[in-house]
Structure 1
Amino acid sequence: MRHTVPVPDDGEPGRTAREKNRRMPAEHLPVARVLPLLGLAHLDRPFDYLIDRKLDADAQPGTRVRVRFSGRLVDGFLLERLAHSDHGGKLAWLERVVSPEQVLTPELVTLARAVADRYAGTMPDVLRLAVPPRHARVEKAEPPQTPEWSVTAPEMSAWEAYYGAEAFLDALRENDDADPGRHPRVVWQACPGEDPAARLAELAALVAATGRGVIIVVPDQRDLDRLEAACEPLLGDWCVSLAAGLGPTARYRRWLQVLRGGARVVIGTRSAVFAPVHRLALTVVFDDGDPSLDEPRAPYPHPREVAVLRAHQTGSALLIGGFSRTAEAQALVDAGWAGDLVAPRETVRAAMARIDGISDEDRRIAGDPLARSARIPTIAFDAARRALDEGHPVLFSVPRRGYLPSVACERCRENARCRACHGPLQMSDRGELACRWCGRPELRFVCPNCGGTAVRALMIGDKRTAEELGRAFVGVPVVTSGGDKIIDHLSAGPRVVVATPGAAPHVDGGYGAAVLLDTWAQLDRQDLRAAEETVRTWMGVATLVRPRAEGGRVVVVADASLAPVQTLIRWDPVGAASRELATRRELGFPPAVTMASVDGPSAAVLAFLALIDLPAGAQQLGPVPLPPGVRPPAGMDPRDGIERVLLRIDRSRGRELAAALRAAQVLRHARHEDTAGIRVQIDPPTIG
């Protein structure tokens, strides 16, 4: 005789254990639309699952869930609940709700889809960048008490130096979410010597005082630390910083604080642009040309472009700022989508240092043999000596860290490269050769071109430069900043500072002089963005120097007639960006066009090209060997013949090219042709 097992009284007496364990669909909206995090292009779409009534309360849109897919359990996000499914077959069950926390907001869903479409990627890859990994203890911990609202609008008089600032600030003060037209988009050209952290903190406080949200993205941790120090007195606990350096637990705790409405202002690095800020009213991306903002993970979205998409999607305000200007930012201004926020010329001239290039008369080296050994022309040596005599520090900017960061065969002058990854070889102060990319030591160098075994220096790094300057300026302290030893701040006083780009310490009162050495290494790079990046680096150095009226001077050891040098001398980043954009339009380079790169082994690239149904008007350039200086795709050996193909199309049809690339990825993955691996990037940072 068959017996039933009684179950505890749960309000439904008489139910058996089997009946209790039987899955029953939820009474209301029983279908869950779930996006599995599979990472495969042909599976980048939601799937429908049934919701068991036991999971009814927790299975809400935005929660993390586990579902069974092809016989295995995978993570996913529940996007929405439906009354019925349009799938004609039998639906599988939602296996588990990982957490009832609704971490994926509707705004993030829309943004992630737009970013994936813009960059020919998959939505799961974007969500891995946007939503940090879960930490159960953080979710279960008692949430921090929401701080008492105490943000007041700050004094904004410093912004009066810029044309158009009054209208921009008035629009930010308007607390009207129903009128997106009042939310402005501007490109801000910061004055030399400006304190961008203070200005951005003021903007954040101005918007937060109206009860709305702000996101500010900066390139690196040093910028973030300065911004955090500027925001703390104005915003207190209503401002949180998000950066990878926090560690996964602390970062997730702060991210949840933002999601739950406990913070109105988010400051951070790249991925902070996705922060789930409530009532977002302003997004800021500062120094958008900094290579630190280039995302190294697929689908490689740039925060500037994500901010543009988010501003368009939400109708919020946008500010892109910096001391220099990228062609991409200028394109927004030329298109009328963004306005200009610039200072009058007289204000710029009063704030900048005196800037000199090298003329024919200055090409001679100072008579002092120590100055000759330090590669300093007379004009630069005199400027440095005068600043030191007046009690001010002097900054020498060099392009590379290390001792001899680039070497070549002494016999044939062929660049010395690593046999393992084809990266550039460098020499330490002990005379040891090693790869600058992978760190592999080169114990016995043999030139593959001529068989030579000796090397010569192509470039001198910060350590060797500091050694030379110590001999040129006897008795003056020499400080180096770069690589893993970066000094953020120095007190005033006579000293020589040798720093790589972006690593120069801030000095109280500013430097008395700055000398830009080995400029040919920046100007001679075979890269689309070489001139733009050079101007950005030089302006970043020049803005640390005292104004001309206080004796500040910058010497660029480069021909004064060169366009980048003239841009710096005139301090005309807007004009330089306009000319750069016009040149790229003429030559057919981004941002005038949408360009995609396909990198990988030759056979894989050719097979992928055969799958692409290119839209009309698209052009194919290549295949060619991967350009020098471009890292090969992850896990690939450059000795296997890594090649690159460039595809370009008019900017107005860029989405068609992205769709074609995504369709090819779908075919490739569906046919399981992904064993060789390739890298597909829209508007790659380095074109070569």
Structure 2
Amino acid sequence: MAGAQPRKREGATADRPAAATRPVARVLVDVPLPVHLDRPFDYLVPDRLDAEAVPGCRVRMRFRGKLVDGYLLERNETTDFQGTLSWVERIPSPEPVLTPQLLELTRAVATRYGGMLADVVRLAIPPRHAAAEKSAPREPGPPPPRPTAEAWARYQHGTSFLDAVHAGRSARAVWQALPGEDWPTRLAEAAATAAAAGRGALIVVPDHRDLQRLQDACTALLGEEGVVALAADLAPSMRYRRWLAVLRGAVRVVIGTRAAMFAPVHDLGFAAVWDDGDDLHSYPQVPYPHTRDVLTQRAHAAGAALIVGAFARTAEAALLAESGWANELVAHRTEVRAAAPRVTAIGEDDTQLARDPAARAARLPSVAFEAARAALDVGAPVLVQVPRRGYVPALACGDCRERARCRRCAGPLALPGGSEGGAPKPAACSWCGAAEAAFKCGSCGSRRLRAIAVGASRTAEELGRAFSNVSVRTSGAGEILAKVPAKPALIVCTPGAEPVAEGGYGAALLLDGRTLLGRPELRAAETALRLWFAAAALVRPARDGGRVVVMADSSLQPVQALVRWDPAWFASLELAERTELGFPPARRVAAVDGTPEAIEALLDSADLPATAEVLGPVPLGEVDEDGSSERERLIVRVDRSEGRALAGSLHAAQAVRAARKAAELQVRLDPLEML
């Protein structure tokens, strides 16, 4: 193939020689492509670029008449292409950013989720910044000393797990953190243990607040130069500089949000995902990979230690433990009881409300009101978790209880809070924003409104009246507090926005439990319990007066798990129920969205595995009078052993459809929600 000439075109001349050896470059084109073009393309390497054209480097070449970016996968002597090859036009940088390990990982992720390799590589490698390539460090510092990590001895087999991490063994654990645990420090100690042995570590957390806490803990152990944080909200040049430092092996410990799951850590010895049930761990771009699954794949391939940790436990983590792939890393029940606050479950019916006018005004049962008052009296802050933000986010007819809707667009009505000219603002539509000052029920004609749910702003207002001498602060979508001081205050927050209190909260009030538990979702109970545990874990132990009051029916299994502080028990029940019903993670599931005609055509052409069970399709969105919809959803589920076969068959069917220029379908493997 040496000396072969491409056809004449702009930027190429007939006398331009190709590289003397291995002149054919197999290139992954970095542009959105139809599924049937999910493959590398061959190009000729000119002699002038021979030295720079190394596998893994970025290249520029023409594709469909345009100059585009790509990655050089390998170089060969010959090609199977029957036509005339085009040239590699230039090489922006000889830096081999797509390493063999990263290429293997991205291919495995694309295969698992039925996606395209180029889409996964686009998630894994940040855009290039030339200045960052010059300034990014190249040489690693000396390994840090191994930390003592005495707190891990509180967990059964905790010390032996760290010994395995230091020895480079493939120890895998589902970690149930104790209430009040300083989990950032524990994870930092495990990462430092791997770094002390000269191996790399990678820890992924849900959001920037968790990342900041983790970075502070890692910096305290490793110094500022010993750890690097990767997150999507970094400036592009800074993100690429840090990413290059990891690629070059200059930093051993890497932390970050979901964007860091593909970080090219050298000699990975330890990986961890914290709070794997948080939906922020699922990438919102095709092929929608999940942090837990990617790190599980990486740990298995690299023979690295792995922790899947949280205060609660997901059904997926329970499957890892019950299948024997991972061991449980839990504390003895005596340790749990010593660290946990006292938890009380109170029903939400009106008969439970206190006779005290102040308690009734705050919508708090007497037990919750007294727990808050006792905590405030000893100088401790009180956490109040409200499932909804806003003032009154849902209204209904005061007589027939029919949902109140806008006359213009049929959107739900809500009270925005605040006042106009000294009078409260009228109800307004949550969709179009139109005010509804003269509501009239379409079912019974009543003009009365009642609240279905009360938001964080209204709750803060009511608590301010009930506890008139106490500061009330909110933490939510507008402003999320990171920390609060150890002094009397009421902290009203939405789930996931709980700030850390110095010395712990004296009490936590978990309001409107039925709102979290009553959502029509597969993971509603699991999510509610995860959010409750996250808030309750911030409360002082019962021996120090810590109280948690949850307003939910005490007979419900999630509530019982919280009262007993036994998330593993509930996760085991949840997994058993999903296994019986054939839901994830017991089975692999694909959700296919598209027009009815496209879905029907896919079913006719797809070669589904033998165990495939097809459910639906069901309408998505508005339904016509005849029961049809413009878009529908099809569910296909198979045994876990045939998960890759399912992904492959749907990918192949999509490729056939793309080649015929048929209507596109959205295919998602293991979706967080199927409804």
TM-score in terms of structure 2 length: 0.91
Q: Which residue of 2 aligns with 1:153?
A: 146
Task: Tell me the alpha carbon deviations over residues 497-517 of structure 1, each in whole angstroms, 9 at most, x when there is no partner.
Answer: 101111111111111111110
Distance 1:46 1:579 in 2: 46
- How far residue 316 of structure 1 moved from its aligned partner, in angstroms, is 1.6
Work out whether residues 30 and 81 of structure 1, in 8 Å CA contact, stay in contact via their aligned partners in 2: yes
Alignment match of 1:142 (pick from 131, 135, 147)? 135
Task: Tell me the alpha carbon deviations over residues 70-122 of structure 1, each in whole angstroms, 9 at most, x when there is no partner.
Answer: 33333211111112223343322222222222111111111111111111111
1:667–1:450 CA distance, 2 compared to 1 (3 A): farther
Q: Which residue of 1 aligns with 2:25?
A: 32
- How far residue 426 of structure 1 moved from its aligned partner, in angstroms, is 4.3
Alignment match of 1:336 (pick from 324, 346, 353)? 324
Matches within 5 A, 1:267-286: 267-286=255-274
AA at the equivalent of 1:39: L
* Residue 372 (str. 1) matches residue 360 (str. 2): yes
Q: Which residue of 1 aligns with 2:493?
A: 499
* Residue 348 (str. 1) matches residue 342 (str. 2): no
- What SS is found at the alignment partner of 2:20? coil
Q: Which residue of 1 aligns with 2:635?
A: 646
* Residue 186 (str. 1) matches residue 148 (str. 2): no
Alignment match of 2:434 (pick from 434, 438, 442)? 442
Alignment match of 1:477 (pick from 458, 464, 471)? 471
Work out whether residues 489 and 505 of structure 1, in 8 Å CA contact, stay in contact via their aligned partners in 2: yes
Q: Which residue of 1 aligns with 2:238?
A: 250
* Residue 559 (str. 1) matches residue 550 (str. 2): no
1:360–1:94 CA distance, 2 compared to 1 (3 A): closer
Distance 1:31 1:110 in 2: 21
- What SS is found at the alignment partner of 2:72? strand
- How far residue 124 of structure 1 moved from its aligned partner, in angstroms, is 1.0
1:448–1:612 CA distance, 2 compared to 1 (3 A): farther
Work out whether residues 40 and 122 of structure 1, in 8 Å CA contact, stay in contact via their aligned partners in 2: no
Work out whether residues 429 and 435 of structure 2, in 8 Å CA contact, stay in contact via their aligned partners in 1: no
* Residue 174 (str. 1) matches residue 167 (str. 2): yes
1:278–1:383 CA distance, 2 compared to 1 (3 A): same
Task: Tell me the alpha carbon deviations over residues 132-166 of structure 1, each in whole angstroms, 9 at most, x when there is no partner.
Answer: 11122322x33347464261111111101111223
Q: Which residue of 2 aligns with 1:208?
A: 195
Q: Which residue of 1 aligns with 2:41?
A: 47
Matches within 5 A, 1:277-296: 277-296=265-284
Work out whether residues 340 and 542 of structure 2, in 8 Å CA contact, stay in contact via their aligned partners in 1: yes
1:419–1:543 CA distance, 2 compared to 1 (3 A): farther
Task: Tell me the alpha carbon deviations over residues 377-411 of structure 1, each in whole angstroms, 9 at most, x when there is no partner.
Answer: 11111111111112211111100111122334667
Q: Which residue of 1 aligns with 2:421?
A: none
Once the two structures are overlaid, the 10-residue window that deviates more, 311-320 or 546-555, is 311-320
Matches within 5 A, 1:62-77: 62-77=56-71
Q: Which residue of 1 aligns with 2:306?
A: 318
- What SS is found at the alignment partner of 2:657? helix
Alignment match of 2:665 (pick from 665, 675, 678)? 678
* Residue 539 (str. 1) matches residue 533 (str. 2): yes
1:483–1:434 CA distance, 2 compared to 1 (3 A): farther
Distance 1:409 1:26 in 2: 78
* Residue 235 (str. 1) matches residue 222 (str. 2): yes
What RMSD in Å do the two structures reach over aligned CA positions?
2.7
Q: Which residue of 2 aligns with 1:633?
A: none
- What SS is found at the alignment partner of 2:380? coil
Work out whether residues 39 and 125 of structure 1, in 8 Å CA contact, stay in contact via their aligned partners in 2: no
Distance 2:575 2:398 in 1: 40
Percentage identity across aligned positions? 54
Consecutive unaligned residues of structure 2, counting only runs of 5 or more, are: 1-10, 419-424, 623-627
1:627–1:156 CA distance, 2 compared to 1 (3 A): farther
Alignment match of 2:186 (pick from 164, 175, 199)? 199
Q: Which residue of 2 aligns with 1:662?
A: 651
Distance 2:495 2:181 in 1: 18
Q: Which residue of 2 aligns with 1:390?
A: 378
- How far residue 440 of structure 1 moved from its aligned partner, in angstroms, is 4.3
Task: Tell me the alpha carbon deviations over residues 508-565 of structure 1, each in whole angstroms, 9 at most, x when there is no partner.
Answer: 1111111110111001111110111111000001100000000001011111111111
1:117–1:196 CA distance, 2 compared to 1 (3 A): same
Q: Which residue of 2 aligns with 1:12?
A: none
- How far residue 587 of structure 1 moved from its aligned partner, in angstroms, is 0.5
Distance 1:661 1:542 in 2: 43
Alignment match of 1:460 (pick from 454, 457, 461)? 454
- What SS is found at the alignment partner of 2:671? coil
AA at the equivalent of 1:345: R
- How far residue 626 of structure 1 moved from its aligned partner, in angstroms, is 3.1
1:98–1:444 CA distance, 2 compared to 1 (3 A): farther
- How far residue 370 of structure 1 moved from its aligned partner, in angstroms, is 2.7
Distance 2:156 2:538 in 1: 23
Distance 2:477 2:669 in 1: 29
Work out whether residues 595 and 682 of structure 1, in 8 Å CA contact, stay in contact via their aligned partners in 2: yes
AA at the equivalent of 1:355: V
Distance 1:256 1:450 in 2: 63
Distance 2:434 2:635 in 1: 33
1:330–1:138 CA distance, 2 compared to 1 (3 A): same
Kindly tell me the number of residue pairs found equivalent between the two proteins: 651
Matches within 5 A, 1:559-578: 559-578=553-572
AA at the equivalent of 1:441: G
Q: Which residue of 2 aligns with 1:14?
A: none
